[in-house]
Amino acid sequence: MSVFSLSEGETYEIGRSLGRQLAGGELVLLEGPLGIGKTVFARGVAAGLGVDPDEVCSPSYALVQEYDGKRARMYHIDLYRIEHVDEIGTLGLEELVDSGAVVVVEWGERLPESYRRNAVTVRLHDIGESTRRIELNNPTRPESRNDH
């Protein structure tokens, strides 16, 4: 499914709508170039989970931020500074997802395919003049999850 966003506010609202659909235990991958709106989208997801969106910032330096929402806990991960695929294994992604939290990963395209298989994938594309095309793949909770 593709939707269009004409502003940062609309990108946030699309993320919030997705967040309201999530029950916990989902891996949400945000993909797209630097400055495209991945963190704005993550704030929207957080709001949909009952997290104060003002608390959500890009976790570039901490790699993982944890937020307690009214509906579900959210882990926000940023893989921008990951230099080697081996470092991803140290994040404990499987454990975070298995904990029942929603795990939102910026730069999700850097994950190996084994992680990506059952994830909700959100690809943001710049189509000019502050307009974004947002592709949502598998935007509902997977019925079953394969082991990584």
Instruction: For the domain made up of 2-137, give the CATH fold.
Output: Rossmann fold (3.40.50)
Q: Cα separations (Å) of 141 from 26, 42, 144?
A: 6, 17, 9
Q: Give, for all 148 residues of the chain, the pLDDT tens digit.
A: 999 999 999 999 999 999 999 999 999 999 999 999 999 999 999 999 999 999 988 766 668 899 999 999 999 999 988 877 777 877 888 899 889 999 999 999 999 888 888 899 999 999 988 899 999 997 544 443 334 3
- Global confidence as pTM: 0.88
| DSSP per position, 3-70 | EEESSHHHHHHHHHHHHHH--SS-EEEEE--TTSSHHHHHHHHHHHTT--GGG----TTTSEEEEE-S
Q: Which residues contact 48 (CB under 8 A, 6 or more apart)?
A: 15, 16, 17, 18, 19, 20, 21, 22, 71
